[in-house]
């Protein structure tokens, strides 16, 4: 357990640390008061009259500083906390002439509190306190006392208990942080999924609407009778776009390869592009059909938007799909976001995506396994 200068920021001051900030820590802090009480009980054995009163007043002051230090730590007032801990150290030293060996019980409180916040960095302080509790009672001959083995054991055991508790608090908070991070990552993944679905679903439908609108304008300009039908198609596509958005947000929409081929053929024809699309999807593994549906949707949408092509060809195999056009063969800059989202989908499925100029036009290819099946076109 480590800190950086002060323990500020060691644990957050919000509701997620109730385990560390609740009754367990209060019980530990209150239990430490047994040591000042034991020191006060021992004072009459070594001091009398005014000296005994002075010794008791020092113990009372020590308890007051301890309570204020606990409040300072709870309010993250670390500068005040360390000053109060320093005052407790001075009071412990001042108590030595009055409670003699039992004064080291106050030292146990000081060392334990420091260990709670400093962790392993408090090891030299602990070693010094244990050594002093053994040597000082024996070295100060007027005390007529042997080495303070009992006090040394009390200091060491108290420090170990407090250190174990502090590590348990830290481990508990690390678990809370980990759970929060998992929840955050899950939320980010869901937002990314919704963003991909909105782009793929809404983008395709709105592209179709734009194409149908252009066709309607051209027909209306020639005063042909097909205007009403095209406008009707625009209305249908608009309603479908709205349904797609709702389905994407709800997570209920399943893209199918067969539907995307049918919709793509209609969209290509409306755009003046000759479609060369498969009529069957049985050759594709069922587990791959949804992903291949996304590939067909993104590829055909980009052909309509950017390729200025006269023909679009889709080829299918058991583990790969390819969308090719005979257009200008330039990267669809405006579609970069869609290709990036599609690449994420492919990567999640463990596949590989290739997008770039071909011998004639542009090619988008997604493969899931090295082996290729029989081509259907």
SS3 per-residue string spanning 272-288: CCEEECCCCCCCCCHHH
Shared domain check, 164 and 277: no
Indicate whether 314 pLDDT > 90. yes
Is residue 193 in some structural domain?
no
Last residue of a domain, one of 131, 160, 183: 183
Report the range out of 103-117, 161-175, 331-345 with the highest average pLDDT: 103-117
Phi and psi torsions of 281, nearest 5°: -120, 10
Cα–Cα distance for residue pair 296/314, rounded to 1 Å: 8
Q: Which among 162, 161, 154 is positioned nearest to 133, based on CA atoms?
A: 154
Count of structural domains, the chain: 2
For 41, the domain range is 15-183
Q: What is the CATH number of the domain that holds 364?
A: 3.30.565.10
The answer for residues whose C-beta is within 8 angstroms of residue 263's C-beta and 6 or more apart is 204, 208, 297
Is residue 333 in some structural domain?
yes
Longest dimension (CA), the chain: 120
Q: Tokens at residue 228, please?
A: 């009403």
Shared domain check, 171 and 274: no
- Lowest mean pLDDT: which of 2-6, 57-61, 209-213? 2-6
Q: State pLDDT tens for residues 17-76.
A: 444 455 666 777 788 889 999 999 999 998 899 999 999 999 999 999 999 998 888 888
Shared domain check, 131 and 26: yes
Computed from CA positions of residues 234, 240, 243, 247, in that sequence, does the dihedral angle turn out positive or negative? Answer: negative
Shared domain check, 269 and 178: no
Q: State pLDDT tens for residues 356-367.
A: 888 788 899 999
pLDDT band at 246 (very low <50, low <70, confident <90, very high): low
Cα–Cα distance for residue pair 102/95, rounded to 1 Å: 9
């Amino acid at each position: 357990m480590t800190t950086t200068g002060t323990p500020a920021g060691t644990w957050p001051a919000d509701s997620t640390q109730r385990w560390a900030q609740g009754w367990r820590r209060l019980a530990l802090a209150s239990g430490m008061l047994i040591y000042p009480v034991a020191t006060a009980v021992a004072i009459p054995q070594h001091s009398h009259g005014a000296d005994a009163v002075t010794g008791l007043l020092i113990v009372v002051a020590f308890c007051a500083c301890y309570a204020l230090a606990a409040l300072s730590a709870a309010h993250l007032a670390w500068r005040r906390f360390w000053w109060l801990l320093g005052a407790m150290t001075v009071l412990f030293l001042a108590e030595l002439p009055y409670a003699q060996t039992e004064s080291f019980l106050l030292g146990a409180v000081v060392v334990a509190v420091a260990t709670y916040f400093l962790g392993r960095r408090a090891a030299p302080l602990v070693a010094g306190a244990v050594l002093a509790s053994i040597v000082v009672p024996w070295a100060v001959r007027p005390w007529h006392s042997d080495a303070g083995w009992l006090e040394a054991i009390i200091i060491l055991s108290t420090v170990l208990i407090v250190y174990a508790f502090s590590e348990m608090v830290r481990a508990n908070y690390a678990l809370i942080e980990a759970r929060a991070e998992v929840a955050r990552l899950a939320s980010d993944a869901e937002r990314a999924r919704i963003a991909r679905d909105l782009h793929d679903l809404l983008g395709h439908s709105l592209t179709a609407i734009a194409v149908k609108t252009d066709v309607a304008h051209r027909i209306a300009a020639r005063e042909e009778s097909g205007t009403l039908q095209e406008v009707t198609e625009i209305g249908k596509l608009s309603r479908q776009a709205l349904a797609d958005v709702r389905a994407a947000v709800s997570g209920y929409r399943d893209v199918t390869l067969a539907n995307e081929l049918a919709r793509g053929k209609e969209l290509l024809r409306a755009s003046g592009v000759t479609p060369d699309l498969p009529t069957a999807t049985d050759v594709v593994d069922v587990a791959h059909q949804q992903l291949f549906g996304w590939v067909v949707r993104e590829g055909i949408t980009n052909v309509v938007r950017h390729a200025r092509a006269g023909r679009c060809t889709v080829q299918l195999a058991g583990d790969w799909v390819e969308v090719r056009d005979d257009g200008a063969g330039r990267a669809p800059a405006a579609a970069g976001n869609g290709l990036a989202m599609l690449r994420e989908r492919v990567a999640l499925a463990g596949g590989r995506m290739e997008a770039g100029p071909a011998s004639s036009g542009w090619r988008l290819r997604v493969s899931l396994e090295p082996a290729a099946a029989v081509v259907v076109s």
